[in-house]
Structure 1
Amino acid sequence: MGILYQAADPIYWVIWLFVLFALMAFNELGRVKLWCGLVLFALVPIALTLFVWPETAAPGNEYGTGTWFNWVKTYSALAGCLGFIALRFVKWRGADGKTHYLYEKRWALCFPPLILAINIAEAVIRDFQVFGFALWEGGVVENLWTISGPWNIMNGIAGILNIITICGWFGIFISKDPSKDMIWPDMIWAWVIAYDLWNFAYTYNCISDHSAYCGLALLLACTIPTFFIKRGAWLQHRAQTLALWIMFVMTVPQFADVLAPIPTTHNPTAFFVVSLLALASNAALAVYQFHRIRKLKLNPLKDQIYADTKAYQRIVEENK
């Protein structure tokens, strides 16, 4: 028995690796080819909504995919993908005869932090909701095993801090290369790691026996490209991999429960520790960011908080 997970057959971890690399591959395909992005995040979801999900994600189904949360998360992730594609590629010729781009509009740059904050808030609400179930010894709710405890409150607070520390969105720009990625340089590695720890704790708390996939694999699928493939485009990677995964889950709901299950150990100590790490990391980030804002006399709603850091400057140099 492991510390966090227990798999009945080692082959399930091989399948887990396949899922990880498949998510990364399809993310790259949708990133570098506009037509692929439109097919994956517009045409495919329309077809699935009309012909597949009404059956595989019907309310009350035995795999728990028919909840309000799954449906809201699916379309909010897809909205993020399509919104980011619009920021990257929508352009027009103005009355002045010049070509103008959507990302040049400050109001348009408010969309990325807004959709990100909404997605985090959805999960924060769910953590508090699971605490409200009062399943102190564990139990099944909406066909998913879960256990209520102080970890839900701790991680809910971590998620709120994660929203508060979103910064620098007016510094978003589009990369100079053919892929025209949405680059957010102020979203440095410290925020990404704090988000990853929070989101993993959320999946561990609320979608426990699915968290090896929708937590660990899914977070690695966007974090690895952020550090090693296309730096500065974390939110774009995150939206696309999240949309890909949740579309798959809504289509093949039995995957994580029957076909390749990797359940958690159901150990309360594990729940407490992962949420404590999430809370500590996000609290530390919030304190550090507040210190920078105060020391440098910055406006957190307008200024770039980390513009003088090497991480920020490296991303700008590579993409602008």
Structure 2
Amino acid sequence: MLFQLYSDHAAMQLIGWVLVFCGLILMNEIGRRTKLGGMIVFVVIPCILTVYFILAHVGMFGGAQNPTVAFMDGWFHYFKLYAADIGCVGFMMIKYKWGIGKEKWFAWFPWFIVAANIMIANVSDMESALAAYSITGNLTGAWWASNEGVFIYGGWWNVVNAIAGLINIFCMTGCVHLYTSKDKNKSDMLWPDMTIWFIIAYDVWNFEYTYLNLPTHSWYCGVALLLAPTFANAFWNKGAWIQNRANTLAIWCMWAQVVPAFQLSSKFAAALPSVYGGATANGITTMDLYEKAIALYNAGNGKTAEAGQIIESMGITADPRMQGFVAILAIVINVICITEIIKRSVKLGKNPYANEVFGDTKDFKLAMERAE
């Protein structure tokens, strides 16, 4: 099993998952359907939160005891929030043809912002692999503690997933062929060539990234957060997956940054992945792991063998089998996807990035039926 869903809290963890999944879909609909909704969700709220974050850092709203400052103060959390939100605003500029959004060169923006986010994740994967290597001298697996307060079991699976992520960047085709949906509110920025081929390859790779590098958060940010945009794209706004993905990622980051207790210590605290072997059976919670990991990191010993000693003292035995399995699955799926793209581009005699290559697929045709 991927997650340890057999504790007394399993029912609440499942309810929490449903709440996150449905909440993300609802907020995405509010943000995408009208200009006012988009401005409120992706401009007004982030501006208010920015002021809140700054004031919390200078001592207001509880100062060091503020949940954001206490639990979500790593650079990575802020980077993901603002990078995702910049993507949302950029996509709005394209679909509504605001300012530079109507310029041809700006059509490369979605590819660039997605590629940049994938590369940041690849760097995180390699950091984990190198941390493990520095402890054991090989890539068979070692525990270390990150600045997010997470015990990570790094190893060869990180290298494999980083390669899958690198391939995934080149699985984005038809990059400059973007359209606006023809409904009266111009609800969606459409990228028709981003079909189920890319979506599955991305989802498997990104799930593995969260599973490896944010394991105590992956119940929500790795499962619910990835399925919400894919679900929306599948059933009612075909062709708008990348917009859905950016919107839901920004929304989740805002929520997680302000209410970190939801996934750390509330009755909906995230289910632990199987890599923490025996943790749930021994009564170890997400918050227990966070407190030990952040203390070790703050002591300057996050990337030392002490991480493994602490994990062992908690009665946890590393079980990376699912980490390895999903890493191999991620690279296999991405290799299949890029192979299909190469075959199609050769057959059509077209550059797959400046041209569309999935024009004969159902996904593409349904997306184009929605385009202006």
**TM-score, normalised on structure 1?**
0.91
Letter in 2 for 1:295: K
Is 1:103–1:109's contact at 8 Å kept on the other side of the alignment? yes
> 2:68 maps to which residue?
57
Letter in 1 for 2:242: L
May I ask how many residue pairs the two structures share in their alignment?
306
2:229 paired residue among 222, 235, 238: 222
2:121 paired residue among 118, 123, 130: 123
In the superposition, relative to structure 1, how do residues 91 and 265 fare at CA in structure 2: closer, same or farther (>3 Å)? closer
Q: Deviations over 1:43-93 (max 9, x none)?
A: 1111111114644433xx3x3x2222111111100000111111122358x
Q: Does 1:265 align with 2:274?
A: yes
> 2:241 maps to which residue?
234
Is 2:85–2:250's contact at 8 Å kept on the other side of the alignment? yes
Is 2:173–2:357's contact at 8 Å kept on the other side of the alignment? yes
SS at match of 1:138: strand
Aligned-pair CA distance for 1:311: 2.5
SS at match of 1:302: coil
Q: Does 1:141 align with 2:146?
A: yes
Query: Could you say which structure has the larger radius of gyration?
Result: 2
CA distance in 2, matches of 1:179, 1:312: 22
Q: Does 1:153 align with 2:151?
A: no
How is 1:88-127 mapped onto 2 (pairs within 5 angstroms)?
A: 88-91=95-98, 104-127=102-125
2:78 paired residue among 71, 77, 92: 71
Q: Which runs of 5+ in 2 are unaligned?
A: 58-65, 136-140, 276-318
Letter in 2 for 1:46: C
How is 1:4-83 mapped onto 2 (pairs within 5 angstroms)?
A: 4-6=3-5, 8=7, 9=9, 10-52=11-53, 54=57, 55-58=66-69, 61=70, 63=71, 65-83=72-90
In the superposition, relative to structure 1, how do residues 3 and 175 fare at CA in structure 2: closer, same or farther (>3 Å)? closer
SS at match of 1:36: helix
CA distance in 1, matches of 2:350, 2:214: 38
SS at match of 1:208: coil
Query: Percent identity, aligned pairs only?
Result: 33
How is 1:233-252 mapped onto 2 (pairs within 5 angstroms)?
A: 233-252=240-259
> 1:203 maps to which residue?
210
In the superposition, relative to structure 1, how do residues 7 and 40 fare at CA in structure 2: closer, same or farther (>3 Å)? farther
Is 1:31–1:179's contact at 8 Å kept on the other side of the alignment? no
Letter in 2 for 1:238: R
Letter in 2 for 1:235: I
Aligned-pair CA distance for 1:158: 0.6
Q: Deviations over 1:243-264 (max 9, x none)?
A: 0000111111222121122111
> 1:95 maps to which residue?
none
304-313 or 41-50, which moves further after superposition? 304-313
CA RMSD of superposed structures (Å): 1.7
Is 1:103–1:174's contact at 8 Å kept on the other side of the alignment? no
In the superposition, relative to structure 1, how do residues 297 and 179 fare at CA in structure 2: closer, same or farther (>3 Å)? same
2:347 paired residue among 278, 289, 295: 295
Q: Deviations over 1:250-308 (max 9, x none)?
A: 11122212112211121200110111111110011011111111222111231111123
Is 1:117–1:163's contact at 8 Å kept on the other side of the alignment? yes
In the superposition, relative to structure 1, how do residues 238 and 3 fare at CA in structure 2: closer, same or farther (>3 Å)? closer
CA distance in 2, matches of 1:255, 1:264: 17
Q: Which runs of 5+ in 1 are unaligned?
A: 93-101
Is 2:238–2:363's contact at 8 Å kept on the other side of the alignment? no
CA distance in 1, matches of 2:371, 2:357: 19
203-212 or 177-186, which moves further after superposition? 177-186
Letter in 2 for 1:151: W
CA distance in 1, matches of 2:185, 2:327: 37
225-234 or 305-314, which moves further after superposition? 305-314
SS at match of 1:112: helix
229-238 or 258-267, which moves further after superposition? 258-267
1:310 paired residue among 328, 338, 362: 362
CA distance in 2, matches of 1:122, 1:36: 29
